[in-house]
């Protein structure tokens, strides 16, 4: 997501500090939530639409919404802050690059990871940056609880096919898969992201897979 640099970004982010996990975290990331609940992680939350909608609908888990772009995270934080009179107790943001996931997130602590419309990195030489590349899957294996789940959505057929190959090579079980999410039984309960909304309005099919670790 290319975004224009936010004016006074650092000050605006600081004004939402109660929703932010510092990087590096000063304690176990689970301790930034008021209640102990299963932990979910969204990687690349962009402007935070999915994170805000999901956590306002579902209160059975805590969500860490991770984003490497501080400009996108700034929008997401302000959105979360504006969406509630009190600070949401099940949502925290974390501005960091997923390349360093295992430095920040404890082993066997996460029940579900969401990858929504991750950058496809279509050029051949950049495939190692795709968030379903084997090196990322190995990090997910470490932080997920045994039997934890990865839920991927994308509009990009090339990224999706690459991802399915990576899942198979890693010996993972794809429990559910669709090549047209919005016209499938996986649409029930689906929380639409900003990118998804755009692609659906353009008539593009959405690919999705749920992968058990």
Ligand X SMILES: C[S@@+](CC[C@H](N)C(=O)[O-])C[C@H]1O[C@@H](n2cnc3c(N)ncnc32)[C@H](O)[C@@H]1O
Residue ranges in contact with ligand X by CB under 6 A: 1, 43-46, 66-69, 72, 97-99, 116-119, 193-196
Instruction: Provide the 10 A C-beta neighbour count for residue 62.
Output: 24
CB nearer ligand X, residue 78 or residue 196: 196
Supply the minimum distance, in Å, between the C-beta of residue 37 and ligand X: 22
Number of Cβ within 10 Å of residue 184's Cβ equals: 16
Active-site entry in 71, 85, 119, 185: 119
Task: Establish whether 119 is a catalytic residue.
Answer: yes
Calculate the alpha carbon distances from 167 to 62, 181, 195, 211 in Å. 26, 19, 24, 8
In this complex, which beta carbon is closest to ligand X, that of residue 68 or of residue 212?
68
Closest to ligand X by CB, 10 vs 173, is: 10
Cα 139 to Cα 136: distance, rounded to the nearest angstrom: 5
Least Å from the CB of residue 12 to ligand X: 17
**Minimum distance between the CB of residue 148 and ligand X, rounded to whole angstroms?**
19
Half-sphere exposure for 159 (CA within 13 Å, toward CB): 24
Catalytic residues: 119
């Amino acid at each position: 997501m290319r975004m224009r640099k936010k004016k006074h970004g650092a000050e605006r982010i600081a004004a939402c500090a109660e929703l932010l996990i510092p990087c590096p975290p000063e304690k176990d990331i689970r301790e930034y939530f008021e209640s102990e609940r299963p932990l979910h992680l969204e990687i690349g939350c962009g402007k935070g639409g999915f994170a805000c909608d999901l956590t306002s609908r579902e209160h059975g888990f805590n969500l860490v919404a991770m984003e490497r772009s501080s400009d996108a995270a700034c929008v997401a934080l302000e959105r979360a802050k504006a969406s509630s009179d009190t600070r949401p107790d099940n949502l925290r943001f974390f501005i960091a690059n997923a390349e360093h996931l295992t430095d920040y997130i404890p082993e066997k602590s996460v029940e579900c990871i969401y990858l929504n419309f991750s950058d496809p990195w279509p050029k051949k030489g950049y495939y190692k940056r795709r968030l379903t590349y084997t090196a990322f899957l190995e990090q997910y294996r470490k932080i997920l609880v045994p039997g934890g789940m990865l839920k991927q959505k994308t509009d990009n057929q090339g990224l999706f096919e690459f991802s399915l190959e990576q899942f198979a090579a890693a010996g993972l079980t794809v429990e559910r898969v669709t090549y047209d999410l919005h016209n499938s039984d996986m649409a029930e309960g689906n929380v639409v992201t900003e990118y998804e909304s755009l692609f659906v309005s353009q008539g593009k099919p959405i690919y999705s897979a749920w992968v058990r670790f």
